[in-house]
Structure 1
Amino acid sequence: MFRSLRIHNYRLFAMGGVVSNVGGWMQRTAQDLLVLQLTGGSGAALGVATALQFAPMLLFGMFGGVLADRYPKRPLLVTAQALMAVLALAMGVLTVTGAVQVWHVFVMAFALGLISCVEVPTRQTFVVEMVGRKDLPNAIALNASSFNLARVVGPAVAGLLIHALGTGPIFLLNAISFAAVISSLLLMRKAELNPAEPVPRAKGQLREGFRYVLRNQDLLMPVLLVGFVSMFAQSFSMSIALMATEVFAAGASSFGLASSMFAVGALGGALLAARRARPSKKLLVAGALSFGLFQIATGIAPFYPLYLLLLVPTGIALITVNTAANASVQLATSAEMRGRVMGIYLLVFTGGAPLGAPLIGWLSDLGGPRMGVALAGALVVAGTGLAVLLSRVIGARVQRAELTDETLRGAVAAG
């Protein structure tokens, strides 16, 4: 289960990531509560903040994948992490001094999203350079374990600290936490890395990435499925905030508990994924359907204790989809295309949030958070079926087009 930790560079990366991830989840919790405090509990405003954080990936995510293929990944990661630390520091100062307004949160969320366009595909593709293809699925699952361990600890700690100190110090603590991951990157043994050869600048590299995904059925189905699921999965923390504060009238500490219960399930799902050699397409589909159904169940849960319990299998299902799709895509991709393919994958993985988050917020304002969450789950179930159908239809058409092109080229050669 933990075999990738035997590798020195990955061990450093994982330790730094745990600290930084805890800080990140503390900030995410503080950001959600800050928006609700500044707007009087507006679900629509919370949806806008979430959408702004993910919108840059929708607009520029593929270009980030191109940069990940063109340049050495470790320097890119150090630069991106340093810029994120500066943003957290600025937001902390504004909040502590009482000068913060909701538009400040919107600007910070958008700027964080811009940096993530480069940081996320670079970080995802850097893993294989540390551990190699054999241990890649295990390392991806352990990354998810670290992320979700932080999701357990971060919101719970943030809830207690916000109750005692307010939201401002949380941003400042997150700014400090970036020192851990930056240090881990700088202390790595360069000779033990296996970097991919940088791809020279050339025209049509984005189009080449799209064609590569369309021609490969092992890539197309996971990418489409993640696109439909992530539209509402990426904003599920917003759903938790709305359910906890607006439906069950829970305070900051109880909201942190709800986020942690979801993360407990996600952590369990990640540890289960670490034991798998290679995920299957059936596992992907089953995980997506389960996530949608459990999301519906959380939306109609009548009591807060039952809601908390349902968050655990919801987290297991979601992380099963995420780890399986990530590993499937990277294993099916050649080294020189990995950055661009992961840029496309992350485009659909995070790019759905600008659509899903405002929709959930609008539905929650219109018919209550229960209706918003339950309808989102129903759309996940429908989207899973549509993703499987589209992957077959598109794949069949691409194969027919390639056969036609080969026939034409053969006729021209024969003539």
Structure 2
Amino acid sequence: MEAPPSPPRARSGPLASLRDSRAFRALWVSNVFFFGGAWTQTMVLGWIVFDTTGSEFLLAVFTSARLAPMLLGPFAGVLSDRHDRVRLLNIACGWALTAAVAVSALESVTDAPYWVLVLAGLATGLAQSPSQPARSSLVLELVGRRNLSNANALNAMAMNMTQVVGPALGGAMISAFGSSVALWISTGWFALSLLALWPLRHADTEGARRAAPEPVGALLVGGIRTILGNRLAAGVLGVTLAANILLWPVYQAFMPVFAKESLGLDADGLGWLLTCSGVGGLTGSLVIAALGDFRFKGALFVYGTAAWGTLWALFALSRHVAVSFALMAFIGLLSASFGVLQTTLLLMTTEPSVQGRALGVQELAIGVMPLSSLCLGFSAQHVGVATTTLLSSLLLVAFLAVLALRLPGLPRYRGV
């Protein structure tokens, strides 16, 4: 195999990493289609679940199954540090395509029962979550440290572009043609993602050359000790954990409830509500990409996430469609400060030898969503989704205020 070219020097402009690295362009295009398939399928399956059961709790159970594979994050991180990351992504795309074909075909011939929808969500999660450490750490190998913020912002743009297109298209297809057509669309996205990885098939990444002789357990324990011994990395992971306990489950599980009960929207309206978030996230990612290797990474991460939590509190109180759409757009805008920088800061504050495992621990922190979704679903069933979201938002803002006081090095971190 040929060794990959040296990472390009940092250049200005929001699309610098896409211009400078052919390998990163291929990965980015694959990510666009992969996230597109995941967003479309998650939105459609979630709508089917709530439409057929009318239960917030059963919707939370579905979401928990969809997100449960995140608990495999640390083991996926070990695989990312030991094996060829491109090969791991090909396996993940192939599994996603297989699972999508199966659930789409079943929904086309019959109304899938609830347990089948839960299994479909689990299958999609098994394709997406365990591949994330390889997907994210491969970026650093392809573009280098100075281009990392730009490249991660472009990856966040890919996700937010699919949030714009995927839910809107999924909602429109449900309204016009039914759920099975929308599921087949997500199947096509996964197929295109697999094809986009083809140019990377001969890439000899560092992950392929690092096949460590230590047992998996020793690698896992040693890596976690190293990561948690780093106060800045631990602080970044703490923010990730808090956000995924308190607020991300609301977005993942309860947007159909807000749309239907608080705002009186149908499936098409839900798609456009999620599209507002995607447009905002796309804009925020573009701004961060344009900033390049900027100096206030830590401050934007901590204070931007706090502002994001504040906007969620306002959204929970809103009962006006126009106001809620505007708030969701700004929520998406500020979500970029969290979504982009949590990975950028974690990679910058850890050693290359443990970066896959660091991202695996991050995936585990995100993986608390299945449990927190159940807890928030139980709360929503008794006190309502709006009250649950309001309290969760205020708790996140309070946590970030305490963190800024106890770990001032994190909001001051420049990473340059």
Corresponding position of 2:267:
252
CA offsets 1:366-410 (integer angstroms, 9 cap, x no match): 1222112212212222332455567689xxxxxxxxxxxxxxxxx
Answer with 383-392 or 168-177: which moved more: 383-392
Q: Which residue of 1 aligns with 2:3?
A: none
Give ranges in structure 2 of 5+ residues lacking alignment.
Answer: 1-13, 410-416
Separation (CA, whole Å) in 1 of partners of 2:127 and 2:37 = 17
Aligned to 1:413: none
Distance 2:101 2:242 in 1: 34
Normalization by structure 2: what TM-score? Answer: 0.88
Give yes or no for contact 1:258–1:311 (8 Å, CA) kept in 2.
yes
Structure with more helix by fraction:
1
Greater CA drift, 46-55 or 20-29 = 20-29
Contact 2:34 2:93 in 1 (8 A): no
Q: 2:413 corresponds to which residue? A: none
CA contact (8 A) 1:196 1:335 kept: no
| Other-structure match for 1:183 | 195
Cα offset for 1:37? 1.8
Asked which structure has the greater CA Rg, the reply is: 1
Structure 1: how far apart are the matches of 2:183 and 2:90? Answer: 20
Q: Which residue of 2 aligns with 1:285?
A: 302
Q: Does 1:358 align with 2:347?
A: no
- Aligned residues between the structures: 390
Residues 14-413 of structure 1 aligned to structure 2 (within 5 Å)? 14-39=28-53, 41-58=54-71, 60-188=72-200, 190=202, 195=207, 197-203=209-215, 204-235=218-249, 236-276=251-291, 277-278=293-294, 279-348=296-365, 350-385=366-401, 387-388=403-404
- Write the deviation string for residues 324-369 of structure 1: whole angstroms up to 9, x where unpaired: 1110111222222111111011211x21211332233222221222
C-alpha distance in structure 2 between counterparts of 1:94 and 1:214, whole Å: 44
Name 2:412's counterpart in structure 1. none
Q: Deviations over 1:84-141 (max 9, x none)?
A: 1111111111211114111112122223333334311111111122212221111110
Letter in 2 for 1:284: F
3-state SS of 1:333 partner: coil
Kept in 2: contact 1:130–1:194 (CA 8 A):
no
Over 3 Å counting, the alpha-carbon distance change for 1:119 and 1:56 in structure 2 is same
Inter-partner Cα distance in structure 2 for 1:21 and 1:370: 28
* Alpha-carbon offset, residue 20 of structure 1: 2.9
Question: Cα distance 1:390–1:120, how it changes in 2: closer, same or farther (>3 A)?
Answer: farther
Where has structure 1 moved over 4 Å in runs of 4 or more? 191-196, 386-393
Residues 130 and 192, structure 1, Cα contact 8 Å, conserved in 2: no
How far apart in 2 are the matches of 1:194 and 1:67? 13
How much does 1:57 deviate?
1.6
Distance 1:263 1:186 in 2: 28
CA contact (8 A) 1:145 1:270 kept: yes
SS at match of 2:209: coil
The answer (yes or no) to whether the contact 1:70–1:199 under 8 Å persists in 2 is yes
CA RMSD of aligned residues (A): 2.1
Cα distance in 1 for residues equivalent to 2:181 and 2:281? 27
Aligned 8 A contact 1:237 1:259 in 2? no
Asked if 1 retains the 8 angstrom alpha-carbon contact of 2:84 and 2:205, the reply is no
Of 96-105 and 295-304, more deviation after overlay is shown by 96-105
Structure-1 separation of matches of 2:29 and 2:73: 27
Higher alpha-carbon deviation: 295-304 or 383-392: 383-392
Structure 1: gaps (5+ residues)? 394-415
What displacement does 1:82 show?
0.5
Amino acid at match of 1:22: G
Percent identity for Structure 1 against Structure 2: 26
Cα distance in 2 for residues equivalent to 1:175 and 1:382 = 41
8 Å CA contact 2:85, 2:208 repeated in 1: no
Shift of 1:79: 0.8
> SS of the counterpart of 1:275?
helix
* CA–CA distance in structure 1, aligned partners of residues 92 and 38 of structure 2: 14
TM-score by length of 1: 0.88
CA contact (8 A) 1:225 1:388 kept: no
Instruction: Measure how far apart 1:296 and its partner are.
Output: 0.6
Amino acid at match of 2:199: L
Mean Cα deviation higher: 132-141 or 194-203: 194-203
Displacement after TM superposition at 1:62 (Å): 0.5
Query: Quick one: which amino acid aligns to residue 279 of structure 2?
Result: V
For 1:188 and 1:27, locate their aligned partners in 2 and report how far apart those are by CA, in whole Å: 26
Task: Give the AA of the match of 1:53.
Answer: R
**Matched-pair contact (CA < 8 Å) for 2:86–2:200:** no
